[in-house]
Amino acid sequence: MHRYLTRAALVALGGAVAVVATGCVTIERGGSAPASSAPVAGDAGLGSAPSDETAAAPAPTGSPAGQGGQPGGGQSGNTGGGDHGGTSGNGTTQQKPSGPTIVFYRIKQKPQCAQGTSVNPIPGVPVILEWKVTGTDQVTLSVDGPGIYDTYPAVGTATINFACGGSPGEYVKHTYQLRTVGGGEVRSKTLTASALVHEIPQV
């Protein structure tokens, strides 16, 4: 009888142990989290702290207005500023030509040869030249080739008699060259004037 009770007790104790062991295994399996949701090393017990990606997010590239020293600052450099005068929008410098410049040189009055009769002659009309030159103070004029006819100021006029030697009905031509004096490289320009030779009857 005693042996029977002892054996029954042992069987009951073994069943209880088996139940307890099975419950522990069940609890352990039921409480295990998926491998993908396992906490990162060092994050255990920190709850919902921000991840490393959020903490390491790159700072904005632009900087607040007025902080030109920061990357992407609000102030950019000026190209071709007003202090440089002759600088264009694309950065190239426009230089003024050096030395004298002939602004204009032209015939102000066209010449005419003498006409009329031997009793009532009509005098010829001289040629009048005018010019404007910058970058120097003087110019010279030459008539029909090399050699200085006279020296004039940089801005002025010259009245020159027009020689009309030739046969009636022909046109006479004369050339007048203007040349700059001093101020750098010599500039020159030549004009040609013409006039008709008239027949003057003898009466």
* Residue 128 main-chain phi, psi, to 5 deg: -120, 125
pLDDT for 152: 98
Rounded-to-integer distance, Cα 165 and Cα 91, Å: 60
Can you give the CATH number for the domain in which 113 is found?
2.60.40
How confident is residue 49, by pLDDT bands cut at 50, 70 and 90?
Answer: very low
With beta carbons less than 8 A apart as the criterion, state whether 108 and 128 touch. yes
Query: Is residue 36 a part of any domain in this protein?
Result: no
Which residue, among 108, 111, 96, has the nearest Cα to 132 in the 3D structure?
Answer: 108
* Residue 187 main-chain phi, psi, to 5 deg: -110, 145
Query: Is residue 9 a part of any domain in this protein?
Result: no
Q: How many CB atoms lie within 10 A of CB 180?
A: 24
| Amino acid residing at 16 | A
Query: Is residue 17 a part of any domain in this protein?
Result: no
Query: Is residue 2 a part of any domain in this protein?
Result: no
Checking if the pLDDT of 80 tops 70, the result is no
Query: Is residue 67 a part of any domain in this protein?
Result: no
Rounded-to-integer distance, Cα 201 and Cα 118, Å: 6
Query: Is residue 44 a part of any domain in this protein?
Result: no
Q: Report how many domains make up the chain.
A: 1
Give residue 120's domain range.
Answer: 101-196
pLDDT per residue as tens digits for the range 96-118: 667 999 999 999 999 999 999 98
| Amino acid residing at 28 | E
